[in-house]
Amino acid sequence: MAYYIKTVDSTWLKQRIPGFIICILFAFSILFTRLFYLQIIEGKEYRRLSANNCIRLRYINAQRGLIFDRNSNLLVDNRPSFDLSIVLKDVKNLEETIEHLSLKLGISQSVLYKKIGKGKEQVSYKPILLKRDIGRDVLAVIKANKHVFSGLKINIRPLRHYINKQSAAHLLGYLGEIDLKELNSGKFPDSKIGDLIGKFGVEKSYEKYLKGIRGGQQVEVNASGQVVRVLKKVYAYPGHNVFLTIDADLQQQAEKLLVGKAGCIAAMDPSTGEVLALASSPAYDQNDFVVGMSHKQWDLLVSNPGRPMENKVIQAEYPPASTYKIVTAIAGLEENVIDTKTTVYCPGHYRCGDRTFRCWKRGGHGKVNIVQALSESCDVFFYQLGQKLGSERIARYSRLCGFGEITGIDLANEAKGLVPDPQWKKSRFGVSWQIGETLSIAIGQGYNLVTPIQLLVLTAAVGNGGVRYKPVIIRSIVSAEGKKIKGYSRPEPLGRLPVSKETIDIIRKGLWSVVNTRKGTGKIARIKNIFVSGKTGTAQVVSRKKNEGDPTASHLKSHAWFISYAPDVNPVISVVVIIEHGEHGSRAAAPLARDLMNSYLKKKGILGEKSEKK
């Protein structure tokens, strides 16, 4: 019996049903009461509000954050756009108005009539947009002659304004209308169709800081759409201001140096990874994106063989050419394949199997050691070194030096480059590795591909004694009220170069000799009173097959590289330059790096005496 009482059966459960019914009835009575309240008691008021769909939303767009350089020079701000529209019902004399407008706006009458015609069936209280972003001169005329131009409406809309035309275009980026894919991605929960969001560069990477918070009003309007009262208001909050690491003067100088050329220049502070300049040429004018481009303008941009839409510093992949000898040298020294005493005799060519590999210097370099091989960029030395190292060891050191992997700079679409090894070749082409390819790799030709930013990080690391810093483009993010939102004061190391103290000293000595010795390939980069270190590179565009055309044709000319840092001890700037089809690194790229470093050192006040080199 006791057991029977304790267990649950349906009889016991049934006695709990009434309690449930009471809860449910209570809940439903709330629903009925609310329905009664809304429809019967407040029904009249709501019917009135529904009459013209009175309650509407008016958005107040947030002012987008400003962008400054490292010295607080304004680079990007917002300017008002005056959009002209017409409300047909309020126009007194349509023909006269159109005639005047046609003259002032420079738009033919038929085009204007066409625009109006489209909206004619609509409620004529609805403003029809005639022209976006009219000039202040037209605005003044319209404002002054309000009586003649009745029915014209001016709407003010904030537009992005890039202050220095074409400057830092690839770094700053541009805005564009949000597309459906982005809307559906859920990454832009506050955005709606027609909103502008960052599509490239800093505008894209720091969208969430720059955009601010949209405000708006719930308003009640009358039958003609005029606001009768504001029911609720949400204030808009301006976006945060972004302070970049670049130096606007240096940036503009880099761009000036690139005028008329295809290529890029980037500069970095080797002790922090802060990017001081990031220029890619040819560029585009971001303001064209703001006001809207014609199809023709867009086609020109996209079809330009100089690829203006691409940020070459991070997106373009090139063979590293002789700059890669740094990697081969590090591998050789660290693996004890060579030391400072190892010498190689360069007769101007090297035979490997049944092939002859040429040194760039026909007559040969004679007997060279590692420092001289770097300084004079002797290919034969590195052919032999590469052969001894083998492709796998070179690839391993290459990866440790940061190649084949993005640097993680805060800009979208960074390319990874390519570190080839036998395994890669097998899976890519299905054929096995040839020893000759190892030789090509050793001097940075062949399948090797690097981005200028990867080379810059390596150069800076050699300059600072071996730490690879992540390239940083932002110094701080500050709210409109001046509160610091985010700072990037601490440099972020990506890793150390795979080098011992001795090795890095030898490499540094080699790079010093490139610029500061009689036979150095980078002599042209010398700066008075300061020791510059660097490395030249000349990247072949096509393979040596003869049937591929005349190598002097401009699109088949080699790319010119120069990487450098200065001063040679405790450098404050490192620079990478590549000029597409510039031919020789020494002549086409090195002077650009020199000029850029010269101005920066001058600006920094570093004019110290040349220290004695051992």
Contact residues: other proteins, CB under 8 A: 5-10, 12-14, 16-17, 20-21, 24-25, 27-28, 30-32, 34-36, 38-40, 42-47, 49-50, 53, 55, 57, 59, 184-187, 189, 214-216, 218, 231-234
- In the complex, the smallest distance separating the C-beta of residue 571 from other proteins, rounded to whole angstroms, is 42
Closest approach, Cβ 11 to other proteins, in A, equals 9
Of 201 and 239, which CB lies nearer to other proteins in the complex structure? Answer: 239
**What is the rounded CA–CA span in Å between residue 443 and residue 448?**
10
Per-residue buried b or exposed e for 472-500, using 16+ beta carbons within 10 Å of the residue's own CB: bbbbbbbbeeeeeeeebeeeeebeebbbe
Q: Select 6 or 295, whichever has its Cβ closest to other proteins.
A: 6
Helix (H, G, I), strand (E, B) or coil at 171: helix
From the candidates 167, 271, 280, 322, give the one annotated as an active-site residue.
Answer: 322
Nearer to other proteins, 189 or 305 (CB): 189
3-state secondary structure of 164: coil
Give min distance, CB of 26 to other proteins, in A: 11
Hey, which bits of 121-239 come out as E strands? 128-131, 152-162, 175-177, 196-198, 215-221, 227-234
**Segment (H or E) for 212:** none
> Interior CA angle at 438 toward 432 and 444, to 5°?
125
DSSP structure class, residue 79:
E
In the bound complex, what is the minimum distance in angstroms from residue 44's beta carbon to other proteins? 7
- Between CA 2 and CA 5 the distance in angstroms is 5
The answer to whether residue 322 is catalytic is yes
Nearest distance from C-beta of residue 189 to other proteins, angstroms: 7
User: What SS3 state is found at 329?
Assistant: helix
The distance of closest approach from Cβ of residue 125 to other proteins in the complex, given in angstroms and rounded to an integer, is 16
Q: E strands along 501-558, which residues?
A: 533-539
Say if strands 467-469 and 474-478 run parallel, antiparallel, or are unpaired. Answer: unpaired
State in angstroms the smallest separation of the CB of 75 from other proteins.
Answer: 29
CA-nearest of 585, 540, 538 to 564 is 585
Nearer CB in complex with other proteins: 46/345: 46
- The nearer residue to other proteins, 7 or 552, going by C-beta atoms, is 7
The residue (of 163 and 183) whose beta carbon lies closer to other proteins is 183
Residue number with CB closer to other proteins (190 or 548): 190
Strand blocks (E) in 403-532: 467-469, 474-478, 484-487, 493-496
Reduced to 3 states (helix: H, G, I; strand: E, B; else coil), residue 445 is: coil
Burial class (CB in 10 A: 0-12, 13-18, 19+), 351: exposed
Amino acid identity for residue 21 in this structure: I
Q: Which residue reads 């085009």 in tokens?
A: 111
Q: Is 372 helix (H, G, I), strand (E, B) or coil?
A: helix
Active site residues per annotation: 322
